[in-house]
Structure 1
Amino acid sequence: MLIIVESPTKARKIQSILKSKTMSTVGHFKDLPESSLGVDLLSYQPNFVYHDRKKDLPRELRKAAQGETVMLAGDPDREGYAISNHVFEEVHQVAKACLRLEIFEVTEKGLKEALSRAVPFERTNAGLYHAFLGRRVGDRLVGYLLSPQASRDLRGKFSVGRVQSPAVRLVVDREREIRAFVPAPYWILSILLEKNGTRFSARHLRGKFEVQAEAQAIVEAIQGERFALTEKVQRRETRQSPKPPFTTVDLQAAAAARLKLAPEQTMRLAQALFEQGLITYHRTDSVRMADEFIAELRAFLTGTLGAHYLPDKPNRFASKNSQADAHEGIRPTHMHSLNEIAALISREGLTAEHARLYDLIFRRAVASQMAPALYDATTLLFEVAGEKFKANGRVLKFDGFLKVYSDSEEEKEPRGEEDPLQALPEVAVGELVPKLGESLDEKKTKPPGRFTFGSLVKELERLEIGRPSTYASITKNITDRGYVREEKGKVVPLPPGETLVDYLREKHPWVIDYDLTRRMEGFLDLVVENKETWQRFCKGVHAKMGYAKPVERGEGSSPSEGQLRYARALADKLKLELPESVLKSGREISAWIDAAKNPAKAEPAQKSAAGKTAAKPARKSTRGKKS
């Protein structure tokens, strides 16, 4: 048996557990070319080419698969399925059989369960690969057709993305909303009371006063009163229930708030935790946990904290996506005490950063199955000179899940002008409580807050833009390309980001239309379900551009980043000179690349630019090269 996965680390871990030969592709080993569109604009058929560094991998895969039962174990999502599909195309003719192996946890138990579920690859849902094709080709059309147009029109280097551009718009629009905000004053009227040494405040039932004179008139009316009459006392028990285990987006948001990690960092750390068998698969919309793990968790909690920390029945949570429950939420693969985490992480060769993220995942998953926290909540209603005032209080009487996990750090957004929670004395209806004084506090309305990377990801999820596997790359791309940056934990737009959004709003508004982007994601879900075709998705994206053809790059237009990277790599490989003039023109660099690869077909001027040294290397096979 031969198992083929993406990650070398995961390959080593699986091989150590199953003692079966395992290989890794190190992610995608073929993709669309960087230096050209790579898509037929009539059929939308992609031209995938091998990555330069992996051009020998297909031959190595075929050699290893000869006569073997091959387990195609790419990650259990669209991208992982696509990698497995590309491996299948390479090995199915020489392998004894090819089966799809979906691994949700890299443990002996998880791997054996995965093997028991493995099915012939030909019987798996090809809709996953078709959705990958739709996303990949659709995004290529947007990026490679609109980015050069934007760069030419704006006289700079700009990148347009089907999902990244709406994300930039979110940040830009929020910043402009903040700039345009005009604070308005309002007043809060409170009285200060005391009983048996306990001081507390009660707020006027009206809440906010927008006219100071109205509040001041009440102050003057009650100033002479020495007591407040207790009109109502309401006591009740309130519960705070635990949250479900993490989904991908919730993990990114919590890690941003608590650990100050960018989504990309969170996913990199989670990937390592998954590959070392410490957590379940970390790209998920699901909040379900396996019944076997819940039973293990409940037994562990009973033995450590006591049965009173458990609800009578396991807590059940509903996933937002009805299809999500094929996966689980993100959880540890086995139970242990919190003080074992450091040793566990060290044993797997991981770092303190991994430990901090694992601790967060562990606590959230454990807390999700614990009893609610219980509070004694009290509301007191007072009357002073005909005016009504209210005081709220809450006292924790049983910590429940809060013993393991508190989400207060993730909810640092302002509470608004709610009545403050405070300690309240015992008071009876009809009792006169001494009034020490009154206060009239002026406040101002506040603008909406800037996004953090965590809250930006949550907003993308709310708008149904992108998917769990893409959020980390979205935030990284818009940062790396200079459209936004992080300042004091908040995401702010940079001038190129604002320029791009204004350009798209005028020239290509559909690209940054949230609802259209959401419907595109929904269309790809239909492709997964084999209810739509990926070609229709690509045709729809292309139609939005007016069936645009690749921009004819003029002398003044800049080459794409992909062209520049490819040209420099080609020049290094073939020992060619790359003239400075070529680097300034998209058309010139395309001609130089063509001449360097095929000197025999080049025009005399192109041969001169590429150099005679290209003649000999160009006769070699270019199969597998990225071009």
Structure 2
Amino acid sequence: MLIIVESPTKAKKIAALLKTRTISTVGHFKDLPETVLGVDLASYEPTFVYLPKKEKLPGELRQAARGEQVFLAGDPDREGYAISTHIFEEVREVAASCLRLEIFEVTERGLRDSLAKAVPFETTNHGLYDAYLGRRIGDRLVGYLLSPLASRALGGSYSVGRVQSPAVRLVVDREREIRRFVATPYWVLAIELEKDGTRFTARHLRGKFEDQSEAAALAALVAKESHALAEKVELKEVRQFPKPPFTTVDLQAAAAARLKMTPEQTMRLAQGLFDHGLITYHRTDSVRMSDEFIEELRRFLTAALGAAYLPEKPHRYSSKNTQADAHEGIRPTHLHHGNEIGSLIGGEGLGPEHARLYELIFRRAVASQMAAARYDATALLFDVVGEKFRANGRVLTFDGFLKVYQEAEEEKERKGEEEPVQLLPPVAVGERVRKERELLDEKKTKPPGRFTFGTLVKELERLEIGRPSTYAAITRNISERGYVREEKGKVVPLPPGESLVDYLREKHPWVIDYELTRRMEGFLDLVVEKKETWQRFCKGVHGKMEYAAPVPRGAAGAPTQRQLAFAAKLAQQRGEAIPETVLKSGKELSAWIKQAVGEKPPSRRKAAGTGAAEGKGGEGAAGRKGTEGAAGGARRKAVRKAGAAGAARPGGGPARTTPAASTATEGGTGIGSCPACGSTVVESDKGFGCAARCGFMLWKDRLSRWKKEITAPLAADLLRGGPVSLKDLVSAKHDGKKFHARGILEQDPKYGWTIRLIFKDDPHSGNSAS
């Protein structure tokens, strides 16, 4: 018996509980390649490759699974099912049998229950994998085809995402709404009353007065009267019911409001709590708790607090997504007293941040099955010279669930500051209550509030954009790519984010259309249900773009300024005009440049060739600087073939994993666009040069003084613009000590195209790799 999971921590915990061999994949081990599209645009079939440093894992999985009953226990969601499918493709030929195991809590009881429900993997719903394919390939098409266009148009390195771009738009549009907002004054009229030593306030029923003179006239009229007549007294009991256990989104919002944690921090800590068997699975839309846990919880509450804190019947909550109730909401796996949390968390080797999040989850889940809080609410209606004023107050008579879980902070996040609760004295109808004074306050309308990361996630959920497993990645990505940042707990857009939204709104508005994005998510749900296909989803996404194949930046759409400048100088050298027919298309202009360079007189061809050999830029070449903070970063250095011949996906049919293409640009395959003229850059034995022979050349040994070779993936990153992470550079001055830096491709007047190193302490200067 062998269990394969995603997390090493979970594997260790399961092995200890079940005394069964358990190994982990540490998440995905196959994905689309980073340096090429990896998708057949005719069939949309993907090419999955093994991730760096995981090339040996498939062999290890096969070796471990040989002759065993294998339980594929990727997380119980689409991503986890996809990982399980990839494992299945690797081990199905050697394992005795393969079963799908969905683990919702890492406890001995939870694991035994899950094992009892495990089913042959071939019989599971492979619609989950199809939906994963649709999402992954659709996202790749959007990012790979639109990001170069945005980068070229905006002059930097920009990333377009099917879900992340609408999230950036939310932040940008909210900020612009705030900027456009013009505060308008209004006036609030109230009276202060006193009875039996208790002072309280009653407000005019009109609420807001937009006309100051009208409000002032009424205040003057009211000032002539010394008492207010009580016309109506309403006394009633108000009950405040607890909220259900956390869903993923509610947990992220509450942790942001109460604990000042980002969604990414919250999910990282929750993953640790889940892996150590302290909470149920944390990526869920469900608010349901199992009947067994509810019964256990009711017994616990009776013993701890007494029967008064239990509702007569258990609370039943319904999820927004009816399919979600196959899972549970986020809850603790064990019940204990609050003062035991520290020792419980410490005993698992976790830290204080884990404890804070665990306590939040624990209290919310326990409170969800407690009795409602009760208030005596009073509403008094007064008359003063014909004008009506109302005073509201309430008194807590039974704390109920509030004894365990207070909701004030979260409510303030969503609804803003409310009126202070006041204590009202007993008043009878017809009673005249002494008026102390009248209050006329000038106020101003307020703009909408900025999002926090928590409220941004809630808004994405409301718009049905993304899924619980993606929200943390969305907020992380838009921050890391320099589109937004957090200031004093609020999310504000940065200039690159605003520029990107403006570009997409003009050129590709469908990408940031909330309704269309929502419908895409709904379509993927239909794929899960096998009512639609992942190919139709990908075709629909691809069809929104006006081209059918990935092209180098500078070759799609209108020509870039660099292309036009280079072409103009080239035409001047040749003594001829650029044909008007090629001026509207970057692709056609690139072809004309290539032809024109090839037809140069011998002396000019030699000069161009010499320039390339010496690493010098050709005429018209310009330096290219990416936007600081924009998407960049190191790409994977190598990929290998993934998938085995004859492997099959669950349900039969050919595997979705196709043989991987080599990332080496054999035969002149383009790896990017030329920063000098916009044509394709291809790989040769010694470097990466412009296919149009404009003079651009980036040598593979350009970083040799730091013992690093420029590979095709690294060159592709540099060509995209913006700083690129350079790891494990070797310092000759410090006895071979390794260091990290960032590099940016620039044109040096003396050395041609080179790489300027940027160091953390001095981002504006650095050494050139010349």
TM > 0.5:
yes
Which residue in the other structure is 2:541 paired with? 541
Q: Secondary structure at the match of 2:71?
A: strand
Matched, 1:187 2:192: no
Which residue in the other structure is 1:565 paired with? 635
**Unaligned ranges ≥5, structure 2:** 555-561, 564-623, 641-662, 665-671, 705-711, 718-770
CA distance in 2, matches of 1:280, 1:212: 57
Residue pair 2:52, 2:639 contacting (<8 A) in 1 also: no
Which residue in the other structure is 1:289 paired with? 289
Residue pair 2:52, 2:637 contacting (<8 A) in 1 also: no
Displacement, 1:216? Answer: 1.1
Q: Secondary structure at the match of 1:75?
A: coil
Residue pair 1:35, 1:562 contacting (<8 A) in 2 also: no
Which residue in the other structure is 1:95 paired with? 95
CA distance in 1, matches of 2:414, 2:319: 27
Closer, same or farther: CA 221–41 of 1 in aligned 2, 3 Å? same
Cα offsets for 1:99-145 (capped at 9, x unmatched): 00000000000000000000000000000000000000000000000
Closer, same or farther: CA 597–188 of 1 in aligned 2, 3 Å? same
CA distance in 2, matches of 1:64, 1:587: 50
Displacement, 1:566? Answer: 3.9
Matched ranges for 1:240-255 at <5 A: 240-255=240-255
Structure 1, 222-231 or 195-204: larger mean CA deviation: 222-231
Amino acid at match of 2:682: A
Residue pair 2:414, 2:455 contacting (<8 A) in 1 also: no
CA distance in 1, matches of 2:81, 2:457: 24
Residue pair 2:149, 2:553 contacting (<8 A) in 1 also: no
Which residue in the other structure is 1:10 paired with? 10
CA distance in 2, matches of 1:421, 1:80: 48
- List 4+ stretches of structure 1 deviating above 3 A: 413-420, 553-564, 566-570, 581-590, 594-598, 605-612
CA distance in 1, matches of 2:252, 2:79: 20
Matched ranges for 1:137-176 at <5 A: 137-176=137-176
Which residue in the other structure is 1:55 paired with? 55
CA distance in 2, matches of 1:420, 1:6: 49
Closer, same or farther: CA 260–590 of 1 in aligned 2, 3 Å? farther
Q: Which has the larger radius of gyration?
A: 2
Closer, same or farther: CA 414–18 of 1 in aligned 2, 3 Å? closer
Residue pair 2:37, 2:550 contacting (<8 A) in 1 also: yes
Displacement, 1:548? Answer: 3.6
Closer, same or farther: CA 380–30 of 1 in aligned 2, 3 Å? same
Displacement, 1:591? Answer: 2.5
Displacement, 1:541? Answer: 0.3
Matched ranges for 1:94-493 at <5 A: 94-413=94-413, 420-493=420-493
**Unaligned ranges ≥5, structure 1:** 575-580, 615-621
Cα offsets for 1:154-205 (capped at 9, x unmatched): 1111000000000000000000000000111100001011001000011111
CA distance in 2, matches of 1:481, 1:583: 23
CA distance in 2, matches of 1:348, 1:29: 28
Closer, same or farther: CA 472–532 of 1 in aligned 2, 3 Å? same
Greater RCO structure (CA 8 Å; 6+ sep): 1
Amino acid at match of 1:412: K
Displacement, 1:458? Answer: 0.1
Q: Secondary structure at the match of 1:565?
A: coil
Q: Secondary structure at the match of 2:208?
A: strand
Q: Name whichever structure is richer in helix by fraction.
A: 1
Amino acid at match of 1:51: L
Displacement, 1:413? Answer: 4.4
CA distance in 2, matches of 1:26, 1:106: 17
CA distance in 2, matches of 1:377, 1:562: 58
CA distance in 1, matches of 2:81, 2:338: 35
CA distance in 2, matches of 1:6, 1:589: 40
Cα offsets for 1:259-315 (capped at 9, x unmatched): 000000000000000000000000000000000000111000000100000001000
Q: Secondary structure at the match of 1:54?
A: coil
Which residue in the other structure is 1:591 paired with? 682
Closer, same or farther: CA 401–502 of 1 in aligned 2, 3 Å? same
Displacement, 1:565? Answer: 2.6
Residue pair 1:558, 1:585 contacting (<8 A) in 2 also: no
Q: Secondary structure at the match of 1:191?
A: strand
Q: Secondary structure at the match of 2:635?
A: helix
Displacement, 1:597? Answer: 12
Structure 1, 208-217 or 449-458: larger mean CA deviation: 208-217
Closer, same or farther: CA 68–585 of 1 in aligned 2, 3 Å? farther
CA distance in 2, matches of 1:32, 1:585: 29
CA distance in 2, matches of 1:431, 1:323: 57
Cα offsets for 1:302-346 (capped at 9, x unmatched): 001000000010000010001000100000001100000000000
Cα offsets for 1:398-447 (capped at 9, x unmatched): 00000000110112148679765310001111111111110100000000
Which residue in the other structure is 2:34 paired with? 34
CA distance in 2, matches of 1:374, 1:47: 60
Q: Secondary structure at the match of 1:475?
A: helix
Closer, same or farther: CA 476–248 of 1 in aligned 2, 3 Å? same
Q: Secondary structure at the match of 1:171?
A: helix
Residue pair 1:189, 1:215 contacting (<8 A) in 2 also: yes
CA distance in 1, matches of 2:131, 2:698: 44
Which residue in the other structure is 1:619 paired with? none
Q: Secondary structure at the match of 2:206?
A: strand
Which residue in the other structure is 2:649 paired with? none
Residue pair 1:450, 1:490 contacting (<8 A) in 2 also: yes
Matched ranges for 1:76-91 at <5 A: 76-91=76-91
Cα offsets for 1:216-265 (capped at 9, x unmatched): 11111121211111111110000000000000000000000000000000
Residue pair 2:157, 2:632 contacting (<8 A) in 1 also: no
Cα offsets for 1:28-78 (capped at 9, x unmatched): 001000111110010000000001200000000000000000000000000
